[in-house]
Structure 1
Amino acid sequence: AMRTIAEAASKHLGQPLVVDNKPGATGTLGPAVMAANAKPDGYTIAQMPISVMRLPLMQKTAWDALKDFTYIVHLTGYTFGVTTKADNQFKTWADVVEYAKAGIKLTHVPFKGGAETNAAVLGGHTTLQADSTGWKPLVDAGHLRLLAIWTAERSKNWPDAPTLKELGYPFVFDSPFGVAGPKGMDPAVVQKLHDAFKKAIEDKAVIEAMARYDMVPRYLDTAGYRKLVGEIIDSEKAALEKIGLARKE
């Protein structure tokens, strides 16, 4: 989807945007290289996954998520949800809550990816899974049941699945991402890039591409994006401290 967004933004900038994939390091390699080496002239920008904000809270990194980037525009996020095997006793999230009232103990079982998680639920080795939409084909085929989604609004793909907010939990989790450049960028350049990407996510081809990947449009301007980053850092820090994964100073 990022390539489609870049192509659409190129039309409004009047020059091509070249996408340079830098896989690895939980998505932080591209932003890290940019922060260390790129000039703040607007010609090098990066997609910013939530791991850019989370990783410095867990281990020493070469960047500070607030100080070393110029946040330009927030674009979208991913759909996450809780699923269970379709033929078990949990038909709704309320069923899970009612069952939990009996005093059950929940065990968190981490997996390397969605394929392993799906297999564990289908095989009856785990009861519930919380993940992004790697479960989509299994839900659509009726093998898994989607009990709740974590986006701000219900998904058009699964309109019967309630949001966390509807269920009484004041949370939205959609692994947000946007675009940022190195620190110290000229505000006029930031504005030009912001405007191009804002128009890009309104492009029909981009909307269709985002829908294919279950990505939720979530536009925020430059100030709103920077504010969101600060809120994410505070939230992630509290969560990591609670589960004992926060970096020891």
Structure 2
Amino acid sequence: MSRFGLKTIAFAAMLAITGAVLATAAGAQDYPIKPITLIVPWPAGGSTDISMRAIADSASKVLGQPIVIDNKAGGGGTVGPATMAAAAKPDGYTISQIPITVFRLPLMQEVSWDPAKDFTYIIHLTGYTFGVTTSAESQFKSWKDVVEFAKANPGKVTYATPGTGTSLHIGMEQIAAMSGIKLTQVPFKGGAETNAAVLGQHTMLQADSTGWRPLVDAGKLKLLMVWTGARSPNYPDVPTLKELGYPMVYDSPFGVAGPKGLDPKIVAKLHDAFKKAVEDPAVIATLAKYDMVPNYKNTEDYRKFVVEVTESERKVINSLGLAKK
């Protein structure tokens, strides 16, 4: 090939690279130009789904494009983020709510994702109020009743959770270990299923976030304890874990991330929109219905939090003997 031909090919290649770079820059500059998909890795109708819909609606007004909710339940809240990590383009049009299970489950079993490498963390948003409920018709009138029955009947007390490896599962196992009792977990996909399980007395207990609130308020379920640092203003007569002798607070805080390789300019736009959303009075009111409060961390602080919470969870998993072999 002639020297002229080689120069032509090199010039064409340079133009192609320059064009790609400019296109990427323009894409980040103009973002978003179409609807954004927000994966909620829990069933529709639960406290996470309802709160994330409120947050997404507010953020979409800032971004000028709709944010469409895609419920991908399963795996204790890990199926949705794992799907995004494996298949989504890093263009900002697919993002996901990230529960703590994403950091915890890799410590317990082999998974398809690496929380340190496969996500671009955007913003930390809020956390839950967790509680343990039982049927209003149950023999258990207090947590003390549960402990006494469990000591006399090891393994007979069953409890529903939204999945293995969730904060509800790990928290209940810590409580059982401190109480010297054996409880049996029955994992489900989310709050609608755990509500049905305990309401129908298919399980004796339910450990979940405040998707149980309508049933508790209606007198169909009894709330035995909450896992917050102070008593819930909605349930001032219900004791906290600490009051029952367990030195723990569990609120399982969560945020939003995209797949790895997301442009920092896109991350900044998403961060700013979601930050305004959690400051929106309408969003704060929705969160309050489920005893959730904003727990904002910026992008850098959220990355640091991921490292910290992973190490904290490693210690807990090891202490419970649940670490993968």
In the superposition, the TM-score normalised over structure 1's length comes to 0.78
| AA aligned opposite 2:297 | L
Aligned counterpart, 2:120: 70
- Post-superposition CA distance 1:112-161 (Å, at most 9, x none): 4523235549xxx85x6543335434533446543432124432321333
Aligned identity (percent) is 61
Whether contact under 8 Å (1:71, 1:180) holds in the other structure is yes
* Separation (CA, whole Å) in 2 of partners of 1:244 and 1:184: 35
2:228 to 142, 145, 151: 151
Aligned counterpart, 1:34: 84
The structure that has the greater radius of gyration is: 2
| AA aligned opposite 2:252 | S
1:4 to 47, 54, 57: 54
- Post-superposition CA distance 1:76-100 (Å, at most 9, x none): 2221123467796866x7x679979
2:263 to 168, 180, 186: 186
RMSD: 3.3
Deviation at 1:47, TM superposition (A): 1.1
1:14 to 64, 68, 72: 64
* Separation (CA, whole Å) in 2 of partners of 1:21 and 1:41: 20
Aligned partner of residue 6 in structure 1, secondary structure: helix
Deviation at 1:65, TM superposition (A): 0.8
Matched, 1:108 2:187: no
Name stretches of at least 5 consecutive residues in structure 1 with no aligned partner: none
Q: Which has the higher contact order (CA 8 A, sep 6+)?
A: 1
Aligned counterpart, 1:216: 293
Q: 1:30 to 1:105 in 2, by over 3 A?
A: closer
Aligned counterpart, 2:275: 198
Whether contact under 8 Å (1:76, 1:215) holds in the other structure is yes
Higher helix share: 2
- Post-superposition CA distance 1:197-227 (Å, at most 9, x none): 0111222332233234443322222222222
* Separation (CA, whole Å) in 2 of partners of 1:89 and 1:8: 42
* Separation (CA, whole Å) in 1 of partners of 2:145 and 2:307: 33
Q: 1:152 to 1:221 in 2, by over 3 A?
A: farther
Q: Which moved more, 1:153-162 or 1:68-77?
A: 153-162
Deviation at 1:51, TM superposition (A): 2.0
2:107 to 54, 57, 78: 57
Deviation at 1:10, TM superposition (A): 1.0
In the superposition, the TM-score normalised over structure 2's length comes to 0.62
| AA aligned opposite 1:116 | A
* Separation (CA, whole Å) in 2 of partners of 1:148 and 1:155: 10
What is the count of residue pairs matched by the alignment?
Answer: 241
Matched, 1:82 2:132: yes
Aligned counterpart, 2:40: none
